[in-house]
Amino acid sequence: MHLCRDISSLAFGALPGKLSICDGFCATGIRGIRYKKENTNAASITFVDLSEKAIKCAKKNAIANGICGKKSASAKTNVRTNKIAASKSANAGAGANDAAAGCKFVHAEICSYLRENPFDFVELDPFGSPAPYLHDAMHSLAYRKLSYLSVTATDMAVLCGAHHAACLKNYQSAPLDNEFCHENAVRILIGKVARAAADFALGITPIFSISHRHYVKIFFRVQKGAVEAVESIKSLGYVSWCPKCLSRTWARLPLVRKCPCSGIYVHAGPMWLGKLWDEKTVKKMIAQNKKRKYENELEIGKLLSLIAGELSLPLFYYDLHVVCKKQKVGAVAKSKVIATLQKAGFAAASTHFNSNAIKTDAKVEDIVKAIKGH
Ligand SMILES: C[S@@+](CC[C@H](N)C(=O)[O-])C[C@H]1O[C@@H](n2cnc3c(N)ncnc32)[C@H](O)[C@@H]1O
Ligand SMILES: [Zn+2]
């Protein structure tokens, strides 16, 4: 999670304004501490955890890292787990952001806490799925015209379709256990967030998304308004994938049944069919990564440059190993396939989702030609 926190801190630092943060599942506090310590846009920070031990640890760490003075850090820890003394809270009530300075440490269950406390930025980093916490996060963000949400999910087997029923239950979306399952995972999670937001007349825009190792992490801009909510919902739809020829198509409704190759499409969704990144945010993150000299600078630089290369390309990557296997041809160099496609006039690039995969506006038959003809 070290690299995930590096990337999260870069993404947080790219957000405009001075933001009150809720580090919702803070554990040792390391994520929130880094947001505040490494960036200039954190107005205040509230650490919340169900474990009293964790909250004590977060407080110790925050002091040791100099992100809050002893005075504010030693403010009485709220030990309620279900009821919150919201009215006395520095973050209580809309507009209380101005009053909130420094740090706050809250021993509480996150849902009940978020329900009564508004924030500009909510961090949800639970064990497994963030789905049970999304409504209460929206409750907290709905006080603001503009706010931000950061969500981690580690239930990759569910989102990637290995546990189909669990995905239906947790995300109300049919997953697809296929060669682009990691992109489906990101899109299914965003779809769930869009629907939770719409319940509160909030619209969402993903500004940074990443699928890496055992987790996906997504940063959202959240905007108040029924129109914004409807716009987000209009970006939901289905992907239809042909297991026979590997072609795919996507639309708001999965109306097609048969692939031109005569294969039968398998449908997955609803999921987010919109953009996964805001270009300016990615550029800022790249620039900051060069300045910060993180231990993981090189790996982060590679990931961010892959993302910068794929962010304007069409949805759903092609895994070249899978295409080659289907065509019964030996493995080919990805760089050569990309170059051949580009020479033929297509857009093509590597993707951060999978090191054997490409994103392109070429159709599967053009990719096959590029594989066989290079
Ligand atoms: C995955 S860890 C968080 C890791 C941390 N954000 C980091 O970057 O290292 C999850 C934490 O959430 C806490 N937790 C679990 N359920 C919770 C709940 N309903 N409300 C608040 N905290 C909860 C656990 O005690 C644990 O410390
Ligand atoms: Zn087909």
Residue (of 346, 342, 354, 340) closest to 306 by Cα position: 354
Domain final position from 215, 238, 272: 272
Q: What is the pLDDT of residues 112-171, one digit of tens each?
A: 999 999 999 999 999 999 999 999 999 999 999 999 999 999 999 999 999 999 999 999
Residues 288 and 248 in one domain: no
Residues with CB under 5 A from ligand 2 (ion): 242, 244-245, 247, 259, 261, 263
Separation of 157 CA from ligand 2 center, angstroms?
A: 26
pLDDT for position 70? 63
Which CATH number fits the domain that encloses residue 309?
3.30.56.70
The best mutation among 36, 38, 49 to test binding of ligand 1, ranked by most ligand atoms within 8 Å of the C-beta, falls on 49
Domain final residue pick, 243, 272, 301? 272
Mean pLDDT of 63-87: 52
For ligand 1, atom 6, name the residue with the nearest CA.
26
Provide the percentage of residues in the chain whose pLDDT is more than 70: 91
Residue 340: is its pLDDT beyond 80? yes
Q: Which domain holds residue 313?
A: 279-373
Indicate the number of domains in the chain: 2
Per residue in 171-185, pLDDT (tens digit) is 999 999 999 999 999
If asked whether residues 61 and 102 sit together in one domain, one would say yes
pLDDT of 23-35, one tens digit each?
999 999 999 999 9
The verdict on 199 and 309 lying in the same domain is no
Question: What's the confidence (pLDDT) of residue 209?
Answer: 98
Given a cut of 50, whether residue 207 has pLDDT beyond it is yes
User: Using a 6 Å cutoff on CB, does residue 30 contact ligand 1?
Assistant: yes
Kindly give the distance from the C-alpha atom of residue 33 to the centroid of ligand 1, in angstroms, as a whole number: 15
Band of pLDDT at residue 91, cut at 50, 70 and 90: very low
Q: Is the pLDDT of residue 1 over 70?
A: yes
Mean pLDDT of 187-206: 98
Do 45 and 194 belong to one domain? yes
| pLDDT of 87 above 90 | no
Which residue has a Cα nearest atom 12 of ligand 1?
25
- If asked whether residues 59 and 151 sit together in one domain, one would say yes
Assign residue 36 the CATH number of its domain: 3.40.50.150
Residues 222 and 316 in one domain: no
Do 258 and 369 lie in one domain? The reply is no
Dihedral pair phi/psi, residue 216, rounded to 5°: -125, 145
Q: Are residues 65 and 152 both part of a single domain?
A: yes
Count Cβ atoms below 10 Å from residue 167 Cβ, excluding itself. 27
Residues 254 and 361 in one domain: no
Q: Which mutation among 23, 25, 26 tests ligand 1's pocket best, with the greatest number of atoms within 8 A of CB?
A: 25
Which tens digit of pLDDT belongs to each residue from 246-255? 999 999 999 8
Domain boundary among 218, 245, 272: 272
Beta strands in 108-255, from DSSP E residues, in sequence order = 121-124, 146-153, 202-212, 215-224, 236-241, 248-251
225 and 356 housed in the same domain: no
Tell me the longest C-alpha to C-alpha distance in the chain. 70
Same domain, 191 and 324: no
Average pLDDT over all residues of the chain = 92
Task: Specify the ligand 1 atom closest to the Cα of 127.
Answer: 1
pLDDT over 70 at 100, yes or no: no
- Helices then strands (H, E): number in the chain? 15, 13
Please compute, for residue 325, the number of CA atoms within 13 A of its CA located in the half-sphere on the CB side.
10
End-to-end CA distance of the chain: 39
Query: Residue 96 has what pLDDT?
Result: 32
Looking at the structure, tell me whether residues 238 and 317 fall in a common domain: no
